[in-house]
Structure 1
Amino acid sequence: MSDKKKNTPKFTFNSYWIYVPIILFFIALQLFNSGGLASKNISKNEFTKVLEANDIKKIVIENNTIAQVFLKDDALKKEEYQKLVNSPFYRKGSPLYSYNFGDLQNFENELETQKQAKGLDFDKVNEERTSMMDTIIGLLPFILLIGVWLFFMRRMSAGGGGAGGGGQIFNIGKSKAKLFDENTKVKTTFKNVAGLEGAKEEIQEIVDFLKNPEKYTKLGGKIPKGALLVGPPGTGKTLLAKAVAGEAGVPFFSLSGSDFVEMFVGVGASRVRDLFKQAQQKSPSIIFIDEIDAIGRARGKNSMTGGNDERENTLNQLLSEMDGFGTDTNVIVLAATNRAEILDKALMRAGRFDRQIYVDLPDLHERREIFEVHIKPLKLADDVNLEFLAQQTPGFSGADIANLCNEAALIAARFNKNAIHHQDFLDAVDRIVGGLEKKNKVITPKEKEVIAFHEAGHATVSWMLEHAAPLVKVTIVPRGQSLGAAWYLPEERKIIQTEQMLDEMCATMGGRAAEKLIFDKISTGALSDLEKVTKQARAMVTIYGLNEKVGNITYYDSSGNDSFVKPYSEDTAKKIDEEISKIIEIQYKRAIQVLEDNKDKLTTLAEKLLEKEVIFKDDLIEIFGKRPFEKEETKKIDVIIDNSEK
């Protein structure tokens, strides 16, 4: 019985049901008020017969076209009228006949003649009548128009979402923020946020401000107004905000910077006012604005359009709400962006965003923690080594690692495995960084040999240089736009010395050096290598001040204002170009020398690569022996670009 009751659909009232009895009532009223239901249409001869019998009590001419014929009480008792009188639709006092007479003037003349000639005693009345149905039909277009308007307004209200029905046209200035409070369960907590220890500590302190304000205010301190989360995409800025919503225990308003943008003038500023009004009413509370650069961009730049003025008005209102008169309520603003350099300086000052929390890419230890979070729902084999995977993924953000775990699960499922193996994770790294394997790409034996020696050259030089990254894997299997790839495990460094940069550049030029040494020809396959070393050499000369001839000077402007201005003279530009070229050529000749000294091992490695297509670190140890300068390892990739696809 209980199951049946549970499955029984609950009765729900719909406001549209009110209109049904109203319509039925008006239809019934029209039907019963009209005496035309029982009246019979008669011909001219029938009308003349009734008229000459002097049975007519009254003739009512409606709208100059139809005559309603009412009979005398005595006449109604006659046998010829009984069939109509006994009809269920006939009511006493209603007309028994209807007669469509044609021309009004002729009909009235005829009535007057008959009345005079035969001494008839009927009355004649002219009336203008309008039926309710005619009225409804006349009003039907307006009723339909109003109905359609109400329908769309209800749809806009239902679909607009946000606090205060932001979708309605009359509430367009209302905030579209989503409210998370004690009635809304947010499952994300700080336990779900791996790594980011410094950022978590700052964020947890902000949550503690709102939970226990007396702990800080009793010493005279003030609760911070806001915190700005800054960092590359995918590092967990929005995830941290979700964790705050799950942990705070106070109302949490979440929205995007683009939610303030609208086609109507003044809407953005109005939504900012409404947002802070709602937050102050539920104080203490937190406001989270994701991608704040949508409205927080520096004012006065490219202000050629009215849309830019509207964005600036929105920003001005936000500045006023965050630190203006009457902003003494316990409302903390969290914001996230990966473009902090373009934000307005007034927005970044203390008193608005008191804290700027940099959420950087995770290091080795943090990547291990992130892997542990994302493998919890996965079914893993015993051979999965998280420490090695963390070493293999430097430069990966939290979002990249989540994608890697999911890709590994998809690869394992593709081959109908019962668990995800370590090799599936390695294949997922190849898939994400290198691209999809192209099994149908046609490569000639000569091209394959060139690619093999190119990759073997990278591997040989990097293995022989102290500061170059040691190799883990080399492949000549085409992936994405690459024809071959070499995977390295460089040391994760916070600062880089000159010798380390030069060794890396030398290893990068090892591919082209091997082509020159073995075939005495060079190809276009070194495009990505040349691009990389040119950027490194330019950075050494113009940014880091690592060139003796140019000196200890940098032309780098962290504010980003040097886009259209060259901060040095033409003579200096010539000197910079010469030094960049000199650095690259020296490392190219150095790579050729290393390969000449190890030409037999280079050839052995290339032949093995042609045979197996993929070789690993163990194969290099077998050929070269162990490196005398082993260090802790992480990962990097070198790629030969297939120019035919660019």
Structure 2
Amino acid sequence: MSQNNKTSSNKNIKPPKFNFYWVYGIIFALIIGYQFFSSGSLSTKNLSQNEFKTILKDNDIEKIVIVNRDIANIYIKNEALEKEKHKKNKSSLYTGNTPMYFYDFGDLQNFEKELKADKESYSLDFDTTNIEKTNFLEQIFIYLPFIFLIGLWIYFMKRMSGGGAGGGGQIFNIGKSKAKLFDQDQKVKTSFKDVAGLEGAKEEVQEIVDFLKSPDKYTTLGGKIPKGALLVGPPGTGKTLLAKAVAGEANVPFFSLSGSDFVEMFVGVGASRVRDLFKQAQQKAPSIIFIDEIDAVGRSRGKNNITGGNDERENTLNQLLTEMDGFGTDTNVIVLAATNRADVLDKALLRAGRFDRQIYVDLPDLKERAEIFKVHIKPIKLAKDVDLDFLSQQTPGFSGADIANLCNEAALIAARNGKKAVHHQDFLDAVDRIVGGLEKKNKIIAPKEKKTIAFHEAGHATASWMLEHAAPLVKVTIVPRGQSLGAAWYLPEERQIVHTDQMLDEMCATLAGRAAEKLIFNNISTGALNDLEKVTRQARAMVTIYGLNDKIGNITYYDSTGQADYNFTKPYSEETALIIDKEISEIIETQYQRAIQILKEHKDKLTTLAELLLEKEVIFKKDLEVIFGKRPFNKEEITADEIVDEDTNIDNSLETQE
């Protein structure tokens, strides 16, 4: 074996960890030893007061040695050892140089007086001496509780600092940074090719990578490299994935950690970790620091400091602010951070000079969803009938994480059914599973309730088919799934802005389920709770947020900063509150009556649709075309007839929760 191989093999051999079980074994042995040796020699016997007096009066005692003013060791004369009572008590370990008995006399002064009196009365000839003797085991047991407490403190300190019961050398590392370093030895394999969509955000972070690779390109013109970039957006949109791509592309040391890694129960630890993090980054500059979920440490200061509970977090934030932009911070270190709660961050943290750029990572649009699908289907074995464009249109509001979960769920469903490849229907079933929940095949529904559900869903379908701005219908089902007893699945348009007539048509179609119950049964049920919640939220937004009401006018009571607390104070008077309530109620009631009127005009078709729904449980767009004919609006709609098979099994139906 070569010397290099020996060196590398020695590096892989970890030093043995200190085992605390040895300490427990030693303590147990000391306790057992103390029980044997604390009373004296093994060859001695403890005498009672009567036994001591008898031996004393018989003049069998050669000498008495008082040890530590506490115990009397008694030595017997050689000629007295032949007596029967001493032969019986003599141990096999006894020697003439050791005491045969010991006597716990109590008070020394009284004991000495009694010995002196007995010696004169019975003409005894024994000698008495006093000695001070140190017992090593007794001394250990005096300090044993303190030793135990110190050992226990060291044990817990190691556990809190990550060392565990057998770890060593980490007790003093509690103030060190917990950031994970990615450098030449440990590279991140993610690149910008693995990030689909997010073109604007990718362009911003790619420029940061370019800053680090070619700084002279920008500094020669007098520019300065940005000190930080904050990634903001809803959960699952790819903020952390973008940071991984930066780590994989930059080829510079990359420090990654979470905002909660700074938080600790000990005072000053958070600030110490911040200092250590930036010290390490400066030593390896140019470098990048990525702080995920920075809102854990970057919340606004001074809001909840009545009890002083936030002082440690605020000290950590103060240190972070100083390290990012303070004296002596002109180092080539760029800070990336991610959060979905930018509204709660401290303003000093968001200012230019610390985070020069705020990059908003929004939910993907139609085109971006198609690109994300292409990334996540790479490891999946697909059948030829999979239509990614249709799936992209069927998943509005899905984030990148949702689409990844959808692809994985489709593969699991195909495997569960014993298929050799993942088909388009498996993706549709996966959408059902994610949005609507698990299908309840054994749920028992009374015939009367089932009829009510059928007319409720038929009302949604009829109104949405007849309204110009309502979303095109794809499928209606009365198969219970998750918390819903039935659902209508739509294909919404990709809109950047919404007009008033579009919102009103959507509200009318939503209320058509309850309107159908009222029209057919002259009675209403609790099944429209989700519908009422949706339209109330829409109507309130029209009046108080978007300024789409004539009575209130072009006023909004929306606070984009999130600083206002409308639970305790309203931004409008009581008179305005009455007008707002009246206008919300009027908007909802108008659309409800409009839905009833539409259903009255098409009552026969509504009934036919409901009966077909009771018979088949799942109906598709082409079934509505047979009943209603083509939609009376010249709009480009997605035709799903080729994608959804006519003989689709009910168990594999496509639906969404209301």
Q: Structure 2 length normalisation: TM-score?
A: 0.76
Whether 1:612 and 2:652 are equivalent positions in the alignment is: no
Q: What is the identity, as a one-letter code, of the residue corresponding to 2:395?
A: T
Looking at structure 1, the residues matched to 514 and 72 of structure 2 have their Cα atoms a distance apart, in angstroms, of: 105
**1:61-99 Cα shifts (integer Å, max 9, x gaps):** 99999999xxxxxxxxxxxxxxxxxxxxxxxxxx99998
Contact 1:392–1:634 (CA under 8 A) maintained in structure 2: no
Whether 1:553 and 2:555 are equivalent positions in the alignment is: yes
Identity of matched residues, %: 77
2:300 counterpart residue number: 298
Contact 2:475–2:655 (CA under 8 A) maintained in structure 1: no
Q: Which of 621, 629, 635 is matched with 1:630 structurally?
A: 635
Deviation at 1:224, TM superposition (A): 0.5
Whether 1:586 and 2:590 are equivalent positions in the alignment is: yes
2:351 counterpart residue number: 349
Deviation at 1:229, TM superposition (A): 0.7
2:278 counterpart residue number: 276
Looking at structure 2, the residues matched to 626 and 304 of structure 1 have their Cα atoms a distance apart, in angstroms, of: 65
Whether 1:451 and 2:453 are equivalent positions in the alignment is: yes
Taking structure 1 as reference, are residues 155 and 517 closer, same or farther at Cα in structure 2, changes over 3 Å only?
closer
Deviation at 1:172, TM superposition (A): 3.0
Contact 2:288–2:333 (CA under 8 A) maintained in structure 1: yes
1:433 counterpart residue number: 435
1:520 counterpart residue number: 522
Taking structure 1 as reference, are residues 159 and 482 closer, same or farther at Cα in structure 2, changes over 3 Å only?
farther
5+ long unaligned stretches in structure 1: 23-35, 37-59, 69-94, 105-124, 641-646
2:602 counterpart residue number: 598
Deviation at 1:332, TM superposition (A): 1.1
Looking at structure 2, the residues matched to 210 and 345 of structure 1 have their Cα atoms a distance apart, in angstroms, of: 27
5+ long unaligned stretches in structure 2: 2-8, 27-40, 42-64, 76-95, 104-110, 113-128, 641-653
Taking structure 1 as reference, are residues 458 and 356 closer, same or farther at Cα in structure 2, changes over 3 Å only?
same
Contact 2:472–2:637 (CA under 8 A) maintained in structure 1: no
Whether 1:535 and 2:514 are equivalent positions in the alignment is: no
Looking at structure 1, the residues matched to 441 and 532 of structure 2 have their Cα atoms a distance apart, in angstroms, of: 27
Deviation at 1:157, TM superposition (A): 4.5
1:250 counterpart residue number: 252
Deviation at 1:638, TM superposition (A): 6.9
Structure 1 residues 308-327: aligned runs within 5 Å: 308-327=310-329
Contact 2:161–2:173 (CA under 8 A) maintained in structure 1: no
Q: Which of 261, 264, 284 is matched with 1:262 structurally?
A: 264
2:383 counterpart residue number: 381
Structure 1 residues 206-221: aligned runs within 5 Å: 206-221=208-223
Structure 1 residues 33-432: aligned runs within 5 Å: 148=152, 150-159=154-163, 168=171, 170-432=172-434
Q: What is the identity, as a one-letter code, of the residue corresponding to 1:451?
A: I
Whether 1:568 and 2:572 are equivalent positions in the alignment is: yes
Whether 1:486 and 2:488 are equivalent positions in the alignment is: yes
Structure 1 residues 502-517: aligned runs within 5 Å: 502-517=504-519
Looking at structure 2, the residues matched to 235 and 298 of structure 1 have their Cα atoms a distance apart, in angstroms, of: 25
Q: Which of 472, 475, 478 is matched with 1:473 structurally?
A: 475
Looking at structure 2, the residues matched to 308 and 331 of structure 1 have their Cα atoms a distance apart, in angstroms, of: 28
Q: Would you say how many aligned residue pairs link Structure 1 and Structure 2?
A: 596
Deviation at 1:202, TM superposition (A): 0.8
1:51 counterpart residue number: none
Looking at structure 2, the residues matched to 61 and 533 of structure 1 have their Cα atoms a distance apart, in angstroms, of: 98
Q: Which of 455, 462, 465 is matched with 2:464 structurally?
A: 462
Q: What is the identity, as a one-letter code, of the residue corresponding to 1:403?
A: N
Deviation at 1:178, TM superposition (A): 2.0
Contact 1:491–1:633 (CA under 8 A) maintained in structure 2: no
Q: Structure 1 length normalisation: TM-score?
A: 0.78
Looking at structure 2, the residues matched to 609 and 193 of structure 1 have their Cα atoms a distance apart, in angstroms, of: 43
**1:343-365 Cα shifts (integer Å, max 9, x gaps):** 12221111111100001001111
Q: What is the identity, as a one-letter code, of the residue corresponding to 1:468?
A: A
Looking at structure 1, the residues matched to 14 and 182 of structure 2 have their Cα atoms a distance apart, in angstroms, of: 30
Contact 1:189–1:244 (CA under 8 A) maintained in structure 2: yes
Taking structure 1 as reference, are residues 178 and 160 closer, same or farther at Cα in structure 2, changes over 3 Å only?
farther
Contact 1:364–1:391 (CA under 8 A) maintained in structure 2: yes
Contact 2:436–2:656 (CA under 8 A) maintained in structure 1: no
Deviation at 1:613, TM superposition (A): 0.8
Contact 1:250–1:285 (CA under 8 A) maintained in structure 2: yes
Looking at structure 1, the residues matched to 164 and 254 of structure 2 have their Cα atoms a distance apart, in angstroms, of: 20
Looking at structure 2, the residues matched to 329 and 11 of structure 1 have their Cα atoms a distance apart, in angstroms, of: 37
**1:23-81 Cα shifts (integer Å, max 9, x gaps):** xxxxxxxxxxxxx9xxxxxxxxxxxxxxxxxxxxxxx999999999xxxxxxxxxxxxx
RMSD: 4.7
Taking structure 1 as reference, are residues 212 and 524 closer, same or farther at Cα in structure 2, changes over 3 Å only?
same
Residue 509 of structure 1 aligns to a residue in which SS? Answer: helix
Taking structure 1 as reference, are residues 315 and 199 closer, same or farther at Cα in structure 2, changes over 3 Å only?
same
Deviation at 1:198, TM superposition (A): 0.9
Q: What is the identity, as a one-letter code, of the residue corresponding to 1:507?
A: A
Contact 2:161–2:174 (CA under 8 A) maintained in structure 1: no
**1:318-356 Cα shifts (integer Å, max 9, x gaps):** 222211111100111111111111212221111111100
**1:464-498 Cα shifts (integer Å, max 9, x gaps):** 22211011111111122211110100111001112
Residue 572 of structure 1 aligns to a residue in which SS? Answer: helix
Contact 2:435–2:657 (CA under 8 A) maintained in structure 1: no
Looking at structure 1, the residues matched to 509 and 102 of structure 2 have their Cα atoms a distance apart, in angstroms, of: 112
Contact 2:481–2:657 (CA under 8 A) maintained in structure 1: no
Q: What is the identity, as a one-letter code, of the residue corresponding to 2:258?
A: S
Taking structure 1 as reference, are residues 497 and 153 closer, same or farther at Cα in structure 2, changes over 3 Å only?
closer
Contact 2:396–2:492 (CA under 8 A) maintained in structure 1: no
